[in-house]
Chains A and B, each alone.
Chain A
Amino acid sequence: MANLNIKSKQERTYQAIVIGSGISGGWAAKELCDLGVKTLMLERGRNVEHIKDYPTTNMLPYEFEHRGQVPEDIKKENPVVSRCYAFREDAIHFFVKDTEHPYVQEKPFDWIRGYQVGGKSLLWARQVQRWSDFDFEGPARDGFAVDWPIRYKDLAPWYSHVEKFAGVSGNRDGLDTLPDGEFLPGYELNVMEKYFQEQLKKHYGGDRHMISARCAHIHGNADFFAQQGRALCQNRNLCQRGCPFGGYFSSNSSTIPWALKTGNLTLRPEAVVHSIIYDEEKGKASGVRIIDRLTKEMEEFYADVIFLNAAALNSNLILMNSTSSRFPNGLGNDNGLLGKYVAFHNYRAGVSGEFEGLEEYTTTGGRPTSGYFPRFRNVYKQETDFLRGYAAGFSAGRGVRPNTEGLGMDLKNSLLNPDQYGPWYVGSHMMGETIPKESNYVALDPNLKDEWGMPQLKISVEYDDNDEKMVKDYLEQMTEMFEKAGVTNIRTRDDHRAPGLDIHEMGGVRMGKDPKTSLLNAHHQLHAVPNVYVTDGASMTSTSTQNPSLTYMAFAARAAHHAVAESKK
């Protein structure tokens, strides 16, 4: 720490520090800056400026040397990230390579990461479904984890707050399991999906629903979003490259430029956070210690309040590495539960098939979303031999294919005049709730370090019997629904993928009412260090089934306002 005197302590002091620039860090910073708080945002990776740093965004298919495929050498060196569906030739530069950031898999876990300004908000699947009280009340009703210290009514106004700014398209479906929000016009389901919807109504009454999934894409109210420099989604479906229109929500296109415009934000990329500094005298956190990614030099920054938004598992890592004589086992970890009760979403299973009807129809254009089944299992009461349930993705489509038989001029003419319409393709995948358990944990490896001298994270997370039963039930139920709707050639799969590939890892720093059994209170403050807020996936007490990013955004906005209100007391 020889370089601490290069800049005066005053120059390195802010009112707030936000660790992480992904979806939740972006929101924390935006709210703090809007409220007049001088904020420093720390990001471990390089800067990625909206549009300027999207090198592939307007490339045409023939401009990719391998037409989108990832070369074999890269795959072999990076088996984990190569399993991610979005790791393609056009987005390789936004993913963490296995070789650069090793971690320890005590049990197989595919940890997918994006180390750059904007984090994984550049790469996410942009699905944004609200939680309801059927989700928040889950642990208390079914007797697992601990009771959430908040309910839907606490979060509802913040869902509205973030939806309006981020831009969420959706239909007002009126379902108690999936509350409606502040929606831009929704995307329509296609003729086959609507037919399936009717079949569900016919065979299951009002018990099961399939809707057009709400997504964070601008589909209306263009003037409002022009204030952020964003424009309508163009249905390109090239989102993982970064969108030059800002058509989907990311920190890069939305919250970070907005916060910078207030003049209150200082963005510091290349800052690998080492730890949060705890001031024993004052009994609170006083700042953050970083290692410069390029020079490897340590530097300290100071602030009254710290927001930890490093992404679920890295937020755990930072707290565990933040030791002091008051907190020898990690910051705020009085009960020894830090890093425990990690959970995720079970994406193992899928069902697909074909539909021979509606053969006179096809689709044109593009859309950034598809169908969604809100959870229908064990919603109102326990009805199966496993706890909780699953949501499911759903989509149908029909393409025209060329006939690739033959050779020579015959082949050439059929390639140039594709006219073979196959049957409708129908597909679904499960998104299962997993039950947080003490035995699913992350910890610091006692020996292994990374290039910056940080301890490597050891991950020990696996499926349990409840997950197995849920996979079986999903496959049975979805097959039954497909059959009843007249879908044929039904194929089921359970790919036994490792946890992590869902990219919905959560927990380890869970919220709760009781400091003995949780790390965070109802406002996301560490019970023992209230000027540290954790508002990303690490704070999740249970996982439910919805894609979680929208909930993290609402958490971050709500907590930022709480922090400012507290500072004025």
Chain B
Amino acid sequence: MNRRHALRHIALISGGLALIPSCDFSSDDILAAYQKLKVKSSEKELLGAISNTIIPAGEIKGALELAVPDFILVMVNDCMEEESQSRFMKGLRAFPEFAGKEFDQLSPKEKEAKVKEGLMLEGDDTEEGKVKQDIQYFLNTTKRLTIQGYMASEYIQTEIIPYSLIPGEYNGAVLISDFQKPRING
């Protein structure tokens, strides 16, 4: 094992925390940080593209910029039962074929349409039907975790909708009409 190879190995095991200049990831390694999922870096990229379709960047940052794909993989790896993990990964792996061509080459509108279609997929007990169910499960899980990871991110909770550790004295009868919150445009 040469030095570059060894360093890359360490970086993968430590969850990609170490930064190695001009590191070549093109060989599509399995990411050691999510050891139960055996997810490849190309699959993580696809997950990133999907989560960024669910919550895209605009005036306010989108899911990808907030490292939501990492959060999704941590949650699936650590907080889900084996069966759900396996459905999630099957769905993720079946998604490219469902998407038709390279998902990344679709226009934003086409991406949205494809994800929307996938979220509603229904499948029967045939092999083909099961794949549809897996894709539907994968996309709904991804959507739920994207929303969670996005809204509970440091960026949103400090810069956009600041979280208060001290919520203030209780008022049990507040008129909703008295609230005048400025609209936040994403």
* Interface residues, chain A, with chain B CB atoms under 8 Å away: 58, 60-62, 65-67, 69-73, 187-191, 193-194, 234-238, 360-367, 404, 407-409, 411-413, 415-417, 421
Contact with A along B146-181 (1 / 0, CB 8 A): 011111111001001101011111111111110001
If the complex has contacts A62-B154, A360-B176, A366-B167, are A407 and B116 also in contact, measured as CB distance less than 8 A?
yes
Return chain A residues, CB-CB under 8 Å to B183. Answer: 417
If the complex has contacts A188-B172, A361-B176, A408-B53, are A73 and B78 also in contact, measured as CB distance less than 8 A?
yes
B116 to A, closest residue via Cβ: A407
A155–B17 Cα distance when bound, in Å, is 60
Structural contact, A415 and B79, CB atoms closer than 8 A: no
Structural contact, B171 and A364, CB atoms closer than 8 A: yes
A408 CB → nearest B CB, Å: 5
Stretch of B18-26, B54-62, B121-129 lying at the A interface: B54-62
A416–B155 Cα distance when bound, in Å, is 13
A63 to B, closest residue via Cβ: B154
Return chain A residues, CB-CB under 8 Å to B53. Answer: 407-408
A408–B177 Cα distance when bound, in Å, is 29
- Is the CB of B105 closer than 8 A to any CB of chain A? no
- Return the contact of B153 from the options A62, A360, A365 (Cβ within 8 A): A62
A406 to B, closest residue via Cβ: B116
If the complex has contacts A413-B186, A415-B150, are A191 and B173 also in contact, measured as CB distance less than 8 A?
yes
Structural contact, B74 and A362, CB atoms closer than 8 A: no
A467–B154 Cα distance when bound, in Å, is 48
If the complex has contacts A65-B74, A67-B152, are A412 and B60 also in contact, measured as CB distance less than 8 A?
yes
A362–B176 Cα distance when bound, in Å, is 6
Structural contact, B165 and A236, CB atoms closer than 8 A: yes
A71–B80 Cα distance when bound, in Å, is 8
Q: Which of B29-76 contact A (CB under 8 A)?
A: 53-56, 58, 60, 62, 74-75
A60 to B, closest residue via Cβ: B163
Structural contact, B170 and A412, CB atoms closer than 8 A: no
A412 to B, closest residue via Cβ: B186
Structural contact, B170 and A421, CB atoms closer than 8 A: no
Interface size class of B (residues with CB under 8 A): 35 or more
Structural contact, A409 and B170, CB atoms closer than 8 A: no
- Return the contact of A365 from the options B119, B149, B160, B170 (Cβ within 8 A): B170
* Interface residues, chain B, with chain A CB atoms under 8 Å away: 53-56, 58, 60, 62, 74-75, 78-81, 108, 112, 115-116, 119, 143, 147-154, 157, 160-161, 163, 165-177, 181, 183-186
B182 CB → nearest A CB, Å: 9
Pick 25 A–B contacts, CB within 8 A, sort by A. A60-B157, A60-B165, A61-B157, A62-B154, A62-B157, A67-B149, A72-B80, A190-B170, A193-B172, A363-B170, A363-B172, A363-B173, A365-B170, A408-B54, A408-B108, A408-B112, A409-B56, A411-B147, A412-B60, A413-B184, A415-B147, A415-B151, A415-B186, A416-B185, A417-B183
A536–B66 Cα distance when bound, in Å, is 50
A236–B168 Cα distance when bound, in Å, is 8
A367–B170 Cα distance when bound, in Å, is 6
Structural contact, B78 and A366, CB atoms closer than 8 A: no
If the complex has contacts A61-B152, A408-B112, are A236 and B166 also in contact, measured as CB distance less than 8 A?
yes
A412–B58 Cα distance when bound, in Å, is 10
If the complex has contacts A61-B152, A365-B170, are A412 and B176 also in contact, measured as CB distance less than 8 A?
no
B43 CB → nearest A CB, Å: 21
A431–B163 Cα distance when bound, in Å, is 34
A87 CB → nearest B CB, Å: 14
Structural contact, B185 and A413, CB atoms closer than 8 A: yes
Structural contact, B54 and A361, CB atoms closer than 8 A: no
Extra contacts, 13 of them, besides A62-B154, A417-B184 (Cβ < 8 A), are A58-B165, A65-B78, A72-B78, A72-B80, A191-B172, A360-B176, A361-B176, A366-B168, A407-B54, A408-B112, A409-B58, A411-B55, A415-B55
A62 to B, closest residue via Cβ: B154
B169 to A, closest residue via Cβ: A365
Structural contact, A360 and B171, CB atoms closer than 8 A: no
Return chain A residues, CB-CB under 8 Å to B150. Answer: 415
Structural contact, A416 and B186, CB atoms closer than 8 A: yes
Return chain A residues, CB-CB under 8 Å to B149. Answer: 67
B118 CB → nearest A CB, Å: 11
Return chain B residues, CB-CB under 8 Å to A71. Answer: 78-79
Return chain B residues, CB-CB under 8 Å to A73. Answer: 78
Return chain A residues, CB-CB under 8 Å to B163. Answer: 60-61
